[in-house]
Structure 1
């Protein structure tokens, strides 16, 4: 049995302020001297980036669709190692789950994950346009599913002292305590982009300032001691932490695998790199905006998601690294690219040259492509044998032409072949959490171990 104080931050619907309250709560508790483990329900990369910045440790996703519900608690315990308290941000409305036809209604909802974690829920209510009706709303959420324990309410966007008093009076007989009331503070809103918030990693000093301000606001408006008491009321979990070393076999040698990072490539699951390291790889980072060559001795490259279209000119201007990536692929070095990585490997992005590894062009699109995908591999690759089934998600406003190469990567229901397998390159729009399919990491690490780095025999830098 493992005891981790924990609380889930939920809302009746999207845009109620979950991210701001979660980030502020993590920042306030961290400033108070606690080690806080931040988590996010669902596949989103951006929200946990802010909470991770506030905590000084990775924000980790908990997604039953991508990893299977049996792994949610072990992955939570893994992420919460050595933490005094864990704060889990929900997704959409409390009971809103995945809409994929292969899962039941409510699957992967905040309520589902809260039940798996046996964690109390704090409901963030946008009170800007209501008064006594808040009591009916909270009553409904508190009684809708008796398996979900609603432990408190944080009133957000409260207009005045009088408004706050009306709201508190209305909730006085609800049996759900008001843990805090936050005024309308539009200046604390985080800037948005076509896919949601601007990632914290892109905003650097500005993001850190915003996080600190959110922490100060929450510390002043929310009863932190009451939140901690609620978190500490969560029972022990009958599970052991997820261990990446138990999920993969170690490969021979110690291949060097570079993972793209920096402001242009901010989307990635921490467990992916941990699995590669557990398989015996030496995992490092390369910033395609700044670094002019791959780390010496690199035998494999992982290029995850992000917003390369925002940095297309800067990425294109770094011709030295683009050439180095193309040379790696040409000599058979394994490359795993998803979404933003796919765009980076194309001939061009919005008309400016990219790496040219793939015979494809990428452009921005007004259409948002978003959703879970149950995919099957169509071609043997460095990630998976043909026939492998995985669950991933798409999240982009770009189009690649053609959509697939002569040897496609994946296919899923309602769509044609997608992605590219070319030699040791695997590129696709599909985002994958390798914790749900650890064999992907093991297979990729083994392919990297079998590859020969450029200049083999030279001393490493």
Structure 2
């Protein structure tokens, strides 16, 4: 197959303007007639929502930590099918990734540099020009020569102060042989409201998010050489695109028994539950589920629901409205008692507690949840402690925590899994109740296809044993 060429948008450090630039570039290239595949490095759920608005197709993630390095290229080939160009937004600084004291390689696992090397794609470095002058040449020289496997294809100068400032910066780039592909003026920042975990998700921000994406597109179209960016794009990978059905078949897990019709798996969506990967629904459907998305703010469980997925998001921002839909909360509690398979991650965990910041929730998990004082963030190497509809005791997997809430007044329950914290302490987390698996840990379904097959099998069993007489 023909590989879609790509450019990787990176920066020396966080806060340089990668998301504005990448989102605007996706929109501007699409406006110029390209079919653009948008990607984000790492476990981020929020930026891909803005990428998706700009591209008119789902934003996807490339995270070797969560899915395994062997799946990165297949997932790239899958997500870029039908496109003539891909834009991959990096994470943090170019060489920043998972912190591992035992790693002696220059490229950290999960870093933007690792993804660029895997794809054989050039890196465009976005530099926050504030405070830079001739010494920019030294910084660029360092990034260009730090690892020979990374090809720095050009620079985009962001927040340039004046015409004279731009001339000095362009001369610095020329000194190290790097072309300047664009120069964005220093101006009032494009206002996209943020909260404690980053930007407000595009689904929540609604029309304002669409307006922001249009403004980013206008800005990039006016100040970046789009033709030069498109000409720079390359990718030197070959292989077979990721395929949900083939991944499931390779696990040896059989989701449906003979005679089973596809069970209805309801997936919570809407403004409160925005954290999800596109491959999740694709795997559920490939396993035989009929996936139906609903909004817990004002809708009920779809008729015939045999499995429920409640993903991450910001339920603490919508706690009063979620609590007001008490008919849904009561139905979920009753169905959980009857053995409905439920997969709840982070926000889903909070939604299943007794209360969230004092607002009554479903009460499936005997705990109270509240907004906490600190951010819990990082990858985890977890071992499964108890069987659930998804995982078996003793299995190992990788996940990612990303939250500012905590559980209080929690009654003892079988934990979902354990991991060793950087401090050396063993952390036991999550709860298994009835056929409910609830935890703070986010997992990527593409890295755990067997769990998706088991969940659909459990849903099919529930549909079969609870069918109306």
**1:395 aligned residue:** 402
- Per-residue CA deviations over 1:108-164 (Å, capped at 9, x if unaligned) read 110011000111100000001111111111111111111100001000010111111
- Per-residue CA deviations over 1:287-335 (Å, capped at 9, x if unaligned) read 11121x1110110100010000011111001111111211221211100
**1:429 aligned residue:** 440
**2:235 aligned residue:** 234
**2:272 aligned residue:** 264
CA-based RMSD of the aligned residues comes to: 1.6
**1:417 aligned residue:** 428
Give yes or no for contact 2:400–2:442 (8 Å, CA) kept in 1: yes
Alpha-carbon distance, 1:190 to partner: 2.1
Distance 1:112 1:128, change over 3 A: same
Distance (Å, rounded) in 2 between the aligned partners of 1:169 and 1:125: 14
**Aligned-partner SS, 1:358:** coil
Q: 2:290 aligns with which of 258, 266, 282?
A: 282
**1:338 aligned residue:** 345
Distance (Å, rounded) in 1 between the aligned partners of 2:101 and 2:455: 30
Distance (Å, rounded) in 1 between the aligned partners of 2:462 and 2:409: 29
Distance 1:138 1:420, change over 3 A: same
**2:218 aligned residue:** 216
Distance 1:103 1:322, change over 3 A: farther
Worse-matched range after superposition: 102-111 or 114-123: 102-111
**Structure 1 residues 62-461: aligned runs within 5 Å:** 62-100=62-100, 106-231=108-233, 233-235=234-236, 237-248=237-248, 249-252=254-257, 253=260, 254-291=262-299, 293-401=300-408, 405-413=412-420, 414-452=425-463, 456-457=467-468
Distance 1:358 1:198, change over 3 A: same
**Aligned-partner SS, 1:416:** strand
Distance 1:100 1:353, change over 3 A: farther
TM-score, length-normalised on structure 1?
Answer: 0.96
Give yes or no for contact 2:400–2:441 (8 Å, CA) kept in 1: yes
Give yes or no for contact 1:297–1:454 (8 Å, CA) kept in 2: no
Distance (Å, rounded) in 2 between the aligned partners of 1:227 and 1:376: 44
Give yes or no for contact 1:54–1:211 (8 Å, CA) kept in 2: yes
Distance (Å, rounded) in 2 between the aligned partners of 1:187 and 1:137: 25
Distance (Å, rounded) in 2 between the aligned partners of 1:160 and 1:404: 61
Give yes or no for contact 1:152–1:178 (8 Å, CA) kept in 2: yes
Give yes or no for contact 2:366–2:411 (8 Å, CA) kept in 1: no
**1:38 aligned residue:** 38
Alpha-carbon distance, 1:250 to partner: 4.5
**Aligned-partner SS, 2:273:** coil
Give yes or no for contact 2:7–2:123 (8 Å, CA) kept in 1: yes
Query: Which structure 2 residue ranges, 5 or more long, are not aligned?
Result: 249-253
Aligned pairs, how many? 455
